Amino acid sequence: MIHPIPPGTRDVLPEEMRELRRLQNALLEVFEGRGYGEVATPALEYDEVLARGGGRGDHAAYRFFDESGELLALRSEMTVPIARLVATRYGQAEPPHRFCYLAGAYRAVNPQRGEMREFIQAGVELIGAPAAEGTVEVIEVLEAALDAAGLGSSVIGLGDADLYRELLEELGLGAEALDAALSRLAAHDLVGLEQELESAGVAAEQVAACLALSQLRGGPEVLEQARAQGSAAAERAADRLSALADALGSRTGGGRVQFDFGLMRDLSYYNGPILEVYDPALGRVLGGGGRYDGLMRRFGVDRSAAGFALNLERVHVAQIEERRRGEGDR
């Protein structure tokens, strides 16, 4: 007798579970070894609390009323619940706070595209450490986690969440045109971006510079190329990224890091450095993160914060693919 489960969800059987558990343990060992204590929060929260995360892509998609009429939601990621936890439980405690998690999250995706409605995130949050050092520490933990997962070819793309808002303001865009241009950038629609900038009256030369900037990604050479675009905002972003890279270089060598002036995260609560994780064995992004001081403020805590989350199942797939490629099978 067949009893279906909703599309985009799945059962895990012992063979895979053993591997997933091994991967979880390896990651947990890295996190705990660096002082990140594991926390669990409820999968169900008040919708009002999750909505404080704001933005387009991050708001919970599965909502329902409980027996007393309260609107509840399934969390779509873990950063907002942890911000809630820190504000509520650690409001008076001396920072910094280091937390890690391995937890299910829920998103309304189109399951016919090979994405899951329920998936497991593995990540850390560092709250209340001085901003620059905190970001470096989080990237260090991420590098160690990727090593522990055996993803030797993975790459961490490092960008700046404030760059384009500053740049577009510098180009004199009004609020509406600025949002339109930002959403084109977030979708990485260069043709649309060019049209938006042109119709906002930006000079052709500056349009070209903005488009070229969004295509700069690679080693330290792109920092210089970004400075050469002749915008104060790009210059500042390059300074911020190069300071971060220097701090990182003296700690880990930062061999996995690639600079990316086109990086935009979907979540609206980031400010300062943002990151994404890629592996050549997989066409989808493995995870991401960055600085989110603004989110903490929305929960009434004025502290800098940074973190990342990896999609555990995708890390597992990349692990298997890398192993296959290592064996010379394409």
Partner 1 sequence: MTPPLRVAVPRGALFGETLDVFDSAGVDTAELRGGSRSLIFETSGMTLVTVRPSDVPTYVEAGAADVGITGKDVLLEQSDRPVYELLDLGYGRCRMVLAGRVGSDRLGESERELGMMRIATKYPRIAERYFESTGRQIELVEVKGSVELAPLVGLSDGIVDLVATGRTMEENELEVREEIVECTARFVANRVAHKLRAAEIDDLTARLREASQK
Q: Which residues bind partner 1 (CB under 8 A)?
A: 110, 113-114, 155, 157, 187-192, 215, 217-218, 258, 260, 276, 278-280, 282-285, 330
C-beta of 310: minimal distance to partner 1 in Å?
Answer: 14
CA atoms within 13 A on the CB side of 185: 26
In terms of CB distance, is 39 or 190 closer to partner 1?
A: 190
> Cis link prior to 6 (omega < 30° from 0)?
no
C-beta of 145: minimal distance to partner 1 in Å?
Answer: 18
In terms of CB distance, is 17 or 187 closer to partner 1?
A: 187
* Phi and psi, residue 41, nearest 5°: -130, 160
Residue 175, class by beta-carbon neighbours within 10 Å (0-12 exposed, 13-18 middle, 19+ buried)? exposed
Three-state DSSP class for residue 101: strand
C-beta of 48: minimal distance to partner 1 in Å?
Answer: 27
Are 297 and 250 in contact by the 8 Å Cβ rule? The answer is no
d(CA 19, CA 13): 10
Lookup: tokens for 211 = 């488009």
In terms of CB distance, is 51 or 109 closer to partner 1?
A: 109
C-beta of 282: minimal distance to partner 1 in Å?
Answer: 7
C-beta of 74: minimal distance to partner 1 in Å?
Answer: 20
Are 106 and 74 in contact by the 8 Å Cβ rule? The answer is yes
In terms of CB distance, is 171 or 318 closer to partner 1?
A: 318
Closest CA to 200 of 176, 216, 220: 176
In terms of CB distance, is 44 or 190 closer to partner 1?
A: 190
In terms of CB distance, is 114 or 253 closer to partner 1?
A: 114
- In order, the DSSP letters of 238-262 are HHHHHHHHHHHHHHT--TTEEEETT
In terms of CB distance, is 103 or 155 closer to partner 1?
A: 155
What residues form DSSP beta bridges with 34? none
In terms of CB distance, is 258 or 271 closer to partner 1?
A: 258
Q: Which residues in 159-173 are b (16+ Cβ under 10 Å) and which e?
A: bbbbbbbbbbeebeb
Which H or E run includes 144? helix 131-148
In terms of CB distance, is 233 or 282 closer to partner 1?
A: 282
d(CA 276, CA 188): 15
C-beta of 106: minimal distance to partner 1 in Å?
Answer: 18
C-beta of 257: minimal distance to partner 1 in Å?
Answer: 12
The region, left, alpha or beta by phi > 0 then psi within -120 to 50, assigned to residue 48 is: alpha
C-beta of 210: minimal distance to partner 1 in Å?
Answer: 15
CA distances from 107 to 47, 74, 288 (A): 14, 8, 16
C-beta of 127: minimal distance to partner 1 in Å?
Answer: 28
